[in-house]
Chain A
């Protein structure tokens, strides 16, 4: 009996040791080599950064290739959206490589999956920056994922190109925001509504930071414009059931509904809206997250509804038709959308900055970024070096029967990014 009592824990320990060995073993070729290279490389980069201040022709990347990280969710709830961004990034990388690469270096892409979870985004960007030592990371979608990556990318002094429209109020020296900030999407939408003579507005959003912030801005600007807000409703991100809230919209009969709902909750909202007898002829919707891809998946004909973006597939320009042609040649007959285009633009802008700076070093890139332009599918975009956002044109589209957008309003010229809304007198962040 005694022998057994000692034996059992010992066997457990043995299993444990085996486990540790197995872990270590499977990890060995990868991890040990990774640590070796990491340590050897980190020493070289240290000496590099030291010498960088003295010798200006050091560009922080050695060899014939430059490593870039693509960090998007290819699994989890965000996968379907983020996969489109991954696809257009891949397209841009191939095009740039065919065109001679960046500063003569071919792009070597390292892909990681954020699994739709902020924690995983933080882990993976840490891996990309510290283990793989990529020159820049492209990706992220939700605000939560960006917020999770922000401290890591700042701590490691790396670079992140974030491709999605967001709630603004942020400017990190280590992040470039190639999607719209609020004054390039929300405010143009309000200007459009004012030009349409809208008097009453209903706000419907997910219970999330983007809708909450957007609605805060909308409410203040609406007061300025003399538009009355007749209701404001939120539903948790995890919920699809909008029936009770839509009943309130039906009761309020607003001139317009401002929709800041995220992701798949849109379907529940649109369906409830439709069955309540609402439509473009009585209370039309203007959305900021329904694009070419989402429109056909609602189960309801959206013809006549509006969306505010900076890019539509229907934008008429040579660069856009080239982009659409290249995208569809590679991925088949799929629509192109704003975030995809913004991601595509991000990689090209990065190339342009690096070629202007003639260096991949973060300091050099940041020093050179101001005023860098790219003739994007959406039109000419320019980086504002002071806040790392880009000047973009605001466009409002109306959905037609082919689930494409007819452009009904544009801001005319690119709007300078103003993430903190400093140039808007009516804006009071503390109200």
Chain B
């Protein structure tokens, strides 16, 4: 009994369309319980923090570290898109802001106390833009990784959401921002490294990047942050705010009539998602050793969303598992089937979105007989 005939009123295309096939967030009577998820987090923590470091080679482990960095950004997308109904196609911007902040600091570490990053001498005139200067400080860098994306997303979100830009408009605008950001980076080669991006680091906060011990610890930090973010989201989802966010997604007008400002509710999710992406970006750089416009542009942003869609956008674990699966697939499947990988990725998008909009996470719920109660609209 799939509805073939479109019966929605598509006249107002800007309205956020409720995703009907998706299991509505949690239909709990009381938001206090749901400790089962904690068990899941514990299992994941055990796998990521205990099993993986002891049984994976350093190469596989650093790959997993990279997937974890991407998973941090994916979790933000889960919050903004899955719970908030905002399809964010430009998370690369915030991922990039965090990553470049970190990379600038690491570049200055290589350059030494008074030094200038090598590429500025090689390709520019050897002078450093003033705005690089504060990134010599590690404390400022950590602050900047959180603060800059937060402010940028706040301003951006405020301008967009307050004007009630929703649905497809929102998605396209965010994607345009990712494109513009990547082109901007390419156009400012002397200041940001351009298309080559920032690379050739040796230390992070004084720790030698080539030291196996440091590499392991970098992985541990990334994996640890995944767990921390999961706990934060778990708490957020079961809070009153979490309920409000889902309600805004499903029936924004009603929320407005109830006296809330939906823009503010969504803004909180948007900014949180941006900060999560930035932290992911900041972890990505020391683990991978390079950040370039290719890692922050439109297609990188879409790949992040792909992971979330695969894992399950509304589920707590979906985005994390999806990000790890897409990263793993990209590394491993592409080793054996380089061209087929693109077909596979493309097919995955279509099949998952078409048949399983709740992602892999929804299979479990369906099997458990907890199949959807219809979305209340």
The interface of chain A, by Cβ under 8 A from chain B, is 1-2, 4-17, 19-20, 23, 26-27, 31-32, 34-35, 38-39, 74-75, 112-113, 115, 117-120, 122-123, 126-127, 130-131, 143-144, 147-148, 150-152, 155, 167, 169-170, 207-209, 212-213, 216, 236-238, 429-431
Contacts and interface: CB of A to CB of B under 8 A. Distances in A.
Given A123-B63, A151-B289, A236-B187, A9 B321 contact: no
Given A1-B29, A75-B334, 13 more contacts: A5-B28, A8-B364, A9-B34, A10-B40, A11-B364, A11-B365, A11-B367, A14-B364, A35-B56, A126-B62, A151-B199, A151-B200, A209-B195
Given A9-B36, A122-B289, A112 B200 contact: no
B121 A429 contact: yes
B305 to A, nearest CB: 18
Size bracket, chain B contacts: 35 or more
A425 B141 CA distance: 40
Contacts of A155: 209-210
B289 A144 contact: no
Contacts of B183: 236, 238
Contacts of A431: 125
Interface in B213-251: none
A227 to B, nearest CB: 22
A118 B291 CA distance: 9
B194 A209 contact: yes
A8 B290 contact: no
Contact of B122 (A5, A19, A27, A169): A169
B155 interface: no
Given A16-B321, A31-B57, A131-B59, A430 B125 contact: yes
A60 to B, nearest CB: 20
Contact of A117 (B196, B199, B294): B294
B125 A143 contact: no
A31 B56 contact: yes
B209 to A, nearest CB: 7
A118 B194 CA distance: 13
A213 B40 contact: no
A212 B125 CA distance: 12
Given A7-B368, A430-B121, A113 B317 contact: no
Contacts of A237: 186, 195
B34 A34 contact: no
Given A10-B39, A147-B290, A115 B189 contact: no
B195 A11 contact: no
B328 interface: yes
Best-surrounded residue of B59, B125, B363 (most CB of chain A within 10 A)? B59
A140 B28 CA distance: 54
B195 A119 contact: no
Nearest to B215: A155
A213 B124 CA distance: 9
Secondary structure class of chain A's binding surface, majority of residues: helix
18 contacts: A4-B368, A6-B36, A12-B40, A12-B361, A14-B364, A23-B328, A35-B56, A35-B57, A115-B334, A118-B196, A118-B197, A118-B294, A119-B295, A148-B290, A150-B200, A151-B199, A151-B201, A207-B195
B370 A75 contact: no
B189 to A, nearest CB: 6
Contact of A209 (B189, B332, B360, B368): B189
B49 interface: no
A113 B364 contact: no
Contacts of A147: 196-197, 199-200, 290
Contacts of A35: 55-57, 60
B353 interface: no
B13 interface: no
Interface of B: 28-29, 33-37, 39-40, 43-44, 47, 55-60, 62-63, 66, 121-123, 125-126, 183, 186-187, 189, 194-197, 199-202, 209-210, 288-290, 292, 294-295, 315-317, 321, 325, 328, 331-332, 334-335, 338-339, 341-342, 360-361, 363-365, 367-368, 370
A23 B36 CA distance: 23
Best-surrounded residue of B44, B122, B331 (most CB of chain A within 10 A)? B122
A280 to B, nearest CB: 30
B368 A8 contact: yes
Contacts of B199: 118, 147-148, 150-151
B212 to A, nearest CB: 10
A-B pairs, top 5 by smallest CB distance, nearest first, are: A9-B36, A11-B364, A13-B40, A430-B126, A155-B210
Contact of A8 (B36, B60, B63): B36
Contacts of A119: 288, 290, 292, 294-295
Contact of A112 (B29, B335, B365): B335
Nearest to B33: A5
B43 A13 contact: yes
Given A75-B341, A155-B210, A16 B292 contact: no
A16 B194 contact: no
Contacts of B194: 207-209, 212
A12 B295 CA distance: 30
Nearest to A73: B338
Contacts of B202: 151
Contacts of B335: 112-113
Contacts of A113: 334-335, 338
Contacts of A2: 33
A265 B197 CA distance: 20
Contacts of A4: 368, 370
Contacts of A127: 59
Nearest to A26: B332
Nearest to A4: B370
Nearest to B120: A430
Best-surrounded residue of A15, A130, A213 (most CB of chain B within 10 A)? A15
Given A9-B36, A12-B364, A151-B289, A209 B334 contact: no
A152 B289 contact: yes
A20 B51 CA distance: 11
A118 B290 contact: yes
A2 B30 CA distance: 11
A207 B209 contact: no
B238 to A, nearest CB: 11
Given A74-B338, A148-B289, A213-B123, A123 B365 contact: no
